[in-house]
Amino acid sequence: MYHALYRKYRPRDFNSVVGQDTIIKTLKNSIKNQSFTHAYMFFGPRGVGKTTVSKIFARAVNCLDTVDGDACGKCDNCKKSGVKECVDIIEIDAASNNGVDEIRELKNKISLVPAELKYKVYIIDEVHMLSIGAFNALLKTLEEPPEHAIFILATTDPQKVPETIISRCQCFSFQRISPEIITQKLKKICDLEHISIDDEVLTEISISCDGGLRDALGMLDKLSSYTKERITIVDYVELNGTITKNELSEFVNSIFQADISSVLEKLSLFHNQGKNLVQIVYQIMYFLRDMVVDYYIHNVNFEYSVDKTEDLINLVNEKMFDIKKSGNPKIYIEMMLLSFIRRKIMNEKSTKNISREIISQGKDEMSLSNKIDSAINSSRDIQKSNITEETEKNVDSASVEGEVSDQAITNSGFHFTSSRILNQDEINAARVNNTLALANKQILNSIVDNMKIFNDYTFDLNIGYIACALLDAKVRAASENEVILSYEYDSIVKQNLDNLNKITEVYNKFTNSNMKFAIITDEKWEQEKNNYILSIKNGKHYSVVSEPDEVLEENENNDIITNSAIELFGDIVEID
């Protein structure tokens, strides 16, 4: 009868186990020194060796003549413990034996001395599946077991095991096995099994199995059944529902080129071909990750924007759980990529186009500095002209209450102040305090709804980056005049604090309000929230404090076009 590769090559001793060196060394030393305990808990991902190590340990503690902490394999006990019918090594599947009655039966039998070996070893697999009653029944036995009994609890989900059980066990965390170690193991097995396979396929298997050697052997088994000829990457792609590197590269190019139609067409094509879209998203993440690593470590030229690439990697990694659990992964992936392209890529392309226009104007007629001056002045004249024309067109359409239509707001221009606030931290702290002191749930919900307005302005050349900043924010708390916004990274908070006047002016004009904003990190918000809750529990309520006056540092050149020119050409630019 044919045996699956993961069964055929299951380790029989500690030296054959790969990827868990620290755990193996600890267990071998405990056997050599006769210092092993009565209860162990092995936890970690599937397919990394928890049950295998449990069986090896059970044989080793019963060996009469251990060799460097490992079973000798020759003594009577090793021969008895090596057979499946050994009555003193008891394996229990907690998934199907999870009731109180099964554990009570175990308690009744545990007092009986071993029939053949030195110790009775109980291996309870997937122990987190036991019921609360079963855990309670097991608790006393774990606390005061007979001298001849050893328990080994194995689980992939230790969070579901009660703390009272965990505290009575010696715990070992099994780690995912690295792709390099898995690849080496697969090569050895392929040589023994005379399987002809490309190295590229072994690498892909090692990455896709997510650190589980059992899954890797299962995939190798499936490929060897798929074809008796040499296994190529085409076979792997066909069988595993993934795409080739060329297809992957073309797909990623479409994303970073903001070619939305191509992205949607390719996704539909992959879906119609029966490809596994979740695996394809994994491929994108690892493909981009490898590029970023090569860029930083090996100084390999980078084809895309490093920042945008890192943003996409983080986005995919963050959304992977939701993609897997989605009722329709295809739609979820489409919307995720469209949102990324719209917010990250297209806004960047708009900014680059402005810089190109500055360089290209008057190329053959003027010196470099004259060209830049002309481009700046021309752009300003056009902007003023558009403001005048559009204001005249839209003034009649304003409502009776004095509210201006969205179109008028966008085209009327914003007179952003060019000053930097030097005491921003003190102002921010006061606004956070005052917002929490006067927090109002209804106002908070209203502001969250108002944010949806800015979905229509992310492509606007004047305020697109401000609209994106508002849409990316988490609205944490709000009072009648103040709002707390938070962002994940400190660098984004700093950037938006530099643009705080612009963000405030845009929001207030679009919503006809007079709000002040405090901008902090997500981590800082958690601290502020916990302090607030603790204060309320202690019977202390926040009181409103006076907001300090702004201390300004004038910065005359705060025009986006002017700044683009200065950033490109340095101090050769002169602004009139």
417: confidence class by pLDDT, cuts 50, 70, 90: low
What's the pLDDT score for residue 414?
55
Give the CA distances from residue 130 to residues 276, 288, 364, in Å, rounded to whole numbers and listed in that order: 34, 41, 81
Query: How far, CA to CA in Å, does 408 sit from each of 37, 337, 404, 419, 511?
Result: 77, 31, 6, 26, 13
Whether 62 contacts 192, CB under 8 Å:
no
Tell which residue, 248, 340, 233, has the closest CA to residue 288: 248
Which residue did the predictor score with more confidence, 229 or 563? 229
* 72 vs 423, more confident: 72
Question: Model confidence over 40-60: pLDDT tens digits?
Answer: 999 999 999 999 999 999 999
DSSP 367-390: -HHHHHHHHHHHHHHHHHHHHHHH
- pLDDT over 80 (residue 365): no
Amino acid at 20: Q
Tell me, what's the pLDDT at 408?
Answer: 39
| pLDDT surpasses 60 at 511 | yes
* 574 in Cβ contact with 376 (< 8 Å): no
Task: Quote the mean pLDDT of the chain.
Answer: 81
How many angstroms separate the Cα of 295 from the Cα of each of 62, 204, 250, 305, 436?
53, 21, 20, 11, 44
pLDDT of 279 above 70: yes
More confident residue, 151 or 227: 151
pLDDT of residue 482: 92
Do residues 287 and 252 lie in contact, with contact meaning Cβ atoms separated by under 8 Å?
A: yes
Q: How sure is the predictor about 485, in pLDDT bands with cuts at 50, 70 and 90?
A: very high
Residue with tokens 């390719």, as numbered in its chain: 266
User: Which carries the bigger pLDDT value, residue 209 or residue 3?
Assistant: 209
Provide CATH code, domain 5-173: 3.40.50.300
Please give the average per-residue pLDDT across 245-269, as a whole number.
90
Domain residue ranges of the chain, discontinuous segments joined by +: 5-173, 419-555
Greatest Cα pair distance in the chain: 101
Residue 362 confidence class, pLDDT cut points 50, 70, 90? very low
pLDDT in tens, 184-195: 999 999 999 889
pLDDT tens-digit profile of 533-562? 888 888 888 888 888 887 776 544 445 455
Does residue 472 or residue 418 have the better pLDDT?
472
Contacts of 36 (CB under 8 A, 6+ apart): 27, 30, 61, 150
CA 279/CA 285 separation, integer angstroms: 10
pLDDT given at position 395: 38
pLDDT reported for residue 176: 92
Q: What DSSP character marks residue 90? A: E
The DSSP bridge pattern shows strands 552-554 and 419-421 to be antiparallel
pLDDT at position 367 over 90:
no
3-state secondary structure 141-205: HHHCCCCCEEEEEEECCHHHCCHHHHCCCEEEECCCCCHHHHHHHHHHHHHHHCCCECHHHHHHH
User: What's the pLDDT at 386?
Assistant: 46
CB-CB contact of 19 with 48 (8 Å):
yes
Assess whether pLDDT exceeds 70 at residue 573.
Answer: no
DSSP state of 434: H
Strands 474-478 and 482-487: antiparallel
Per-residue pLDDT reduced to its tens digit, 438-475: 988 888 988 988 888 888 887 777 788 888 889 989 99
Q: How far apart are CA 38 and CA 169, in angstroms?
A: 8
Cα(405)–Cα(510) distance, integer angstroms: 9
Residue pair 264/334 in contact by the 8 Å Cβ criterion = yes
Is it the case that residue 369 has pLDDT exceeding 60?
no
Instruction: Compute the average pLDDT of residues 78-83.
Output: 85
Q: Of 32, 38, 82, which is closest to residue 56 (Cα–Cα)?
A: 82
Low-confidence winner among 70-84, 126-140, 362-376 (lowest mean pLDDT)? 362-376
Among the ranges given (23-27, 205-209, 457-461, 541-545), the one the predictor scored with the smallest mean pLDDT: 457-461
Confidence of residue 368 (pLDDT cuts 50, 70, 90): very low
